[in-house]
Each structure stands twice: as C-alpha cells, then as structure tokens.
Amino acid sequence: QLGLQPDFLQADCLALYNFWMYEYGNDPLAAAAIAGQEETDQLNHVRRSAGNSKSPVALLDVGEDATNMVMCAPGLVWFRTLGFGWFCFRRAVVQEFKLTLSQADQWLRDPLKCPNPASMYRAIEPQLESLAQEVQQTLELFEKDAPEHRVQRMFLCGGGARLHGLLRYLCVGS
C-alpha cells in the first residue's frame, strides 16, 4: 500500500540475538571502552551483568501474544517460542474483575491501582506458573541439546516484562 520494498526481513528471535551480540558480543566491557562511549548507569549495569559472554545468556522476550526465549553466546543461537504473552495475564484480570483491557493493563503494571492486589495476583497465578514451567522446560531442552553450554544469566525484555512481580516470580516462585 505504501509502495515500499523491504530490503531485509528478520525473524524476531534472530533480531534479538543479533542485537545482543552486537551490543554485548565477546567482551561487552572492552567493546564499550574501545568505542569510547559514554553510557548510562543502567546500560553499565546490564553490561556488568552480562558477565562472561562466552557463557550463554537467556533472553526472555515477553510479547503481547507470545514469549520468545533466546539463548545467546558467540557462535551459538537457540530459541523457542512459548505460548504465553502479556495477553494471557491481561485476559485473566479482565475475566476475573470485569475490567476493560486498559484497566487490566494498569493493574498489571501498577498493582496499587487495584483495590485488592492479592486477589489480582491470585487471578494471574495460573498463568505465572505456566510461564515459569515453560521457561524451566525450555532451559532443560537447551541443556539437553547443548550440554557443553550452561545458561548463567537470564534477561527479561519486551512489553510484558512490565508485569509487576514477574521477575520475582521467575526467580523465586510464588
């Protein structure tokens, strides 16, 4: 409709892998020093957290309809799409509390806007548990396929990463 011809098309998992390797590559701290870039505290923290980039890291991209899990290391890319996205959490809150999608988004990002945050978390507990199980199964599949590579760190990204409590739940459970 716009008359534009794409020069290049890339799947989202590969785009995320390419971003990670471009930004953090083999030695993220050395690459930043060579480039002489001034970086924000947040970017410095991510670079330090990346640690030894020769060890694979997992990137968990929680999107609207699905979650992509990408394992990255130099010369290695492995990914899997999980069936859970932001919409699963949103739908659970909409159905339980008869809200609009916009209201559900607000509650999920800022539980203090919810009259009873504990009841909201109970409503999304099954989705959190399912996502955590899928993540664990994916890590196990990766370790089975690439036993010489063990994921040392996981980074959460995507719009669904704004789900309040998601990171804590993935780290320690309910």
- CATH superfamily for 12-172 is ATPase, nucleotide binding domain (3.30.420.40)
The whole-model pTM stands at 0.79
Listed residue (132, 113, 119, 116) closest to 174, CA to CA = 132
Say how far apart CA 165 and CA 156 lie, in whole Å: 12
Please state, in angstroms and rounded to a whole number, the distance separating the CA atoms of residues 87 and 89: 5
Q: Phi/psi at 58 (nearest 5 deg)?
A: -105, 135
pLDDT digits (tens, 9 = 90+) for 134-144: 999 999 999 99
Q: Is the pLDDT of residue 78 over 60?
A: yes
Q: Span 8-21, mean pLDDT?
A: 86
The 10 Å Cβ neighbour count of residue 80 is 17
Q: What is the pLDDT averaged over residues 32-53? A: 51
Mean pLDDT to the nearest integer, 109-122 = 95
